[in-house]
Amino acid sequence: MKKTILALFLLMLAGVAFCENGMEVKIDNYSITVPAGWMAQRTDSSALFILYSPLEENDDFQENGNLSIEQLPSKYSVKGYLEASREYIKTIYSNFNLIETKDNYQIIAGEINGTKVQQIQFVFMKGNVANVLTFTSNPENFARYLDTFKKIQKSFKY
């Protein structure tokens, strides 16, 4: 019962429409479609919203995603932004490891506050604004979620 009430509350915080491919979340000028069972929460932090995977039995980490919007002092290329962000991330992650980098994303791993994580970060530039869509998993489950993360990213509109 508590989970149902929480789910309804979270849905009220974001504009949500259910579709055959899952749930379309619309917040401000942004929209993204998440698979059935995922939840979205609008935030008042640096992340506009947070996406949560369904809870799994005996899982100690709930996979998630978020959209951060960063107003930059000048224009950056996506490559330049990814390079700068890696330098910052190295200061807050221990055991930082760059696994892969492509035109608009990077896959990284490390530990934050003693928790091992693996992330894929997609970057979309619009003028001086960086839209950063980050998905996080524990390293053991990352490969299993990677296709889902990429599918969600492809639905992102801004």
**pLDDT score of 4 more than 50:** no
Rounded to an integer, what distance in angstroms lies between the CA atom of residue 19 and that of residue 60?
30
pLDDT in tens, 36-73: 999 999 998 889 999 999 999 988 899 999 999 999 99
Rounded to an integer, what distance in angstroms lies between the CA atom of residue 127 and that of residue 136?
26
Give the per-residue pLDDT at 46.
85
Give the per-residue pLDDT at 7.
46
Average pLDDT rounded to a whole number, residues 144-150: 98
Rounded to an integer, what distance in angstroms lies between the CA atom of residue 112 and that of residue 123?
21
What global pTM score does this model have?
0.86
Residue pointed to by tokens 């000048």? 74
Rounded to an integer, what distance in angstroms lies between the CA atom of residue 22 and that of residue 72?
33
Evaluate whether 89 touches 106 at the Cβ level (below 8 Å): no
Rounded to an integer, what distance in angstroms lies between the CA atom of residue 137 and that of residue 148?
12
pLDDT in tens, 89-141: 999 999 999 999 999 999 999 999 999 999 999 999 999 999 999 999 999 99
Complete edge-to-edge strand list for the sheet that includes strand 15-19: 15-19, 22-27, 30-34
Evaluate whether 136 touches 149 at the Cβ level (below 8 Å): no
Evaluate whether 49 touches 106 at the Cβ level (below 8 Å): no
pLDDT in tens, 10-27: 444 444 444 556 899 999
Structure tokens at 120: 């894929």
